[in-house]
Structure 1
Amino acid sequence: MTDYATLFRSLAAHSQCVYFAYDPVSRQVTYVSPAYEHVLGGDSSRVNAELGRWQQLLHPDDWDYLQEQVALVLSGRPAVEDVELRLRHPDGRRQWLCLTLCRPAAEGEGELLTGTVQDITRVKEYMSNADKFNAKKNATLEILSHDLSGPLLVVQQLAEHVAEQAKNYSNPALDELVRLMRTTCQDSVDLIRDFVNQEFLESANVELKLARLNLVSHLRVLLNNYRDAQHLLDKRIGFTTNAEAIYVYIDDNKFQQVINNLISNALKFTPDGGRIEVHVEERAGRVRVSVQDTGIGIPAKLQPVLFDKFTKARRPGLRGERTIGLGMSVIRTLVLLHDGNISFTSEEGRGTTFIIDLPTVADEQLAHRGPQ
């Protein structure tokens, strides 16, 4: 019979992955592979003495999360995978670890837990930079769309005025030039919006990649991009929260697209000098994100069909921005894929508030789903 322990001993000795066995009754590590020393910088012979130090280095928000995942395995779940944890070292360095934990199937092992730990710091740093770039890209597209469309629409309106005044001249050449000015401006505005809309619609055709993250810090990065351009948008954009750390399982890029689209709509239907407020709060095991504007509101007759695909509720913005009518339908689909729901209240002449409710990481359904 093949001795698998001997077969894999060499792999464990040279792997960058830390293998371990832990007895939760005695709270002792009964085995740790050599990778412990170069991945975590510890001393294998003193691993149990160093457990207290690892707990001190663990991010406070991650300690409860780790205990919840261990409890899931001890209560009968076979394994938990991709449990991402943060260590805060004294020199200011942040290290990301990925934990997998399971209960051996062998009889006589009692409550013994086995698992692996990998250093994913480089991957997380890369993803963080990519997410920041994506958030800035999306916000920049919306801001450029708003700024580039404005002057073109002004030229279009001037062309319409010239066309009205030129009726008495009976000059076909002049009429044709004015027509070209009007159609060129409108085509340019449509092209800008089509580009931004396509960026958004493509996001709905990709499988969600859920990850546990602090929604407050991620929304703050996104909103800061808009707030930096407030002087260009002629709107005031605010962000408030009732907590600095609210954890959810979401696809960061897709959820940013949802918020970007809601802000885009608010920009289109809020007059210059108006306000757009984004607020996030945790309440009764749910997270609520609201996007409120002081715009023109949604007519009562259009509200029942707002989330329909190719809805009749589509309408041009205050500057003539075109809409394809798919935006709100895609937003609702993305929110539902996150096990959330979206609703709104609106009054003509006073503004609109969109409300998104999401489960927190403590939600029972997501706790059994596990990290993605």
Structure 2
Amino acid sequence: MNVTFFKRILGFLTYTSVCFSAGFFIIQLLPVRISGYLQYLATIFTSIAIMMLTGYLIHAFNHNKRVNIYLEIINALRKIGNGDYNVQLDLNTGKKNEMTEIISHFNHMAKQLKQMEEMRQEFISNVSHEIQSPLTSIVGFAQALQSNKLTTEESNHYLHIIETESRRLSKLSDNLLKLTSLESEHHPFERKSCRLDQQIRSIILACEPNWLEKELEMDISLEKVSIFADEDLMSQVWTNLIHNSIKFTRQYGTITIRLQQMADQASITISDTGIGISEQDQFHIFERFYKADLARERTKSGSGLGLSIVKKIIDMHDGSISVKSEIGKGTTFTILLPIS
């Protein structure tokens, strides 16, 4: 409460006190019968005055309290406007009313904004790290190529590294654009009826040079299943998962791919006998930029965006994806998609 409020209360009490003091003094000078009657009236008016004063005090207190809450909300909004999302209103407004609803929604909004800001900063940090690593290699080996003391074999080796890192940058850029587009509301999404078994089989054949090079056994069983989906997007799912299985399966290993219809769903499992994923990493593999390099002993590093894209596409089709794996024994991805 401010000083003006206290001045008003003090003035009201002083004025009331003077009036009642004068009234009682006059009453004492009147005859007894009239004096008693007037004292009775004075008691009634005194009670009314006290109730009015109490009501005024309650109203004034609530008014000032509400003003203070508004000032707190305005100050919090000003902080958010300046980029400080670490704001939570902790105001005791008594019983539940429209003000407590406003405060509750405000705190929820501030919490969501804080989480989005943390995700944005983490995203920028991850992108910077992913870009910096190949750029450092490209610059370093480009400088080394300027030396006249290199053999032809060394020069070719350095050029190969530069080419590999350049492709890695290009893929990172492509995946970033793809993921950003998928998460927006403007990505083209055209469902149509397509034969899932034919699509998966064509991608397996497209990857043939990769699994023949490692002499992998491909155990394929595909039932005839049609689904209503965006064919181009689903093609990215199978390409990514099959490439990963080939990539992380050692020489002479086995990759098993199964497709079958289960009630109103298509069930797809892609299993390998590769290096596996630790139990801890399985909880994070669909997160952006998450790479279990140490746990999986990867010889080739990706961007950590491939499985994020896979998860997003499957979610767009109202499906689900899960993973089961054990270090040294392989990994199985299970995808469930609605038929219609």
TM-score (norm 2): 0.48
Q: Max radius of gyration: which structure?
A: 2
TM-score (norm 1): 0.45
Structure with more helix by fraction: 2
Structure with more strand by fraction: 1
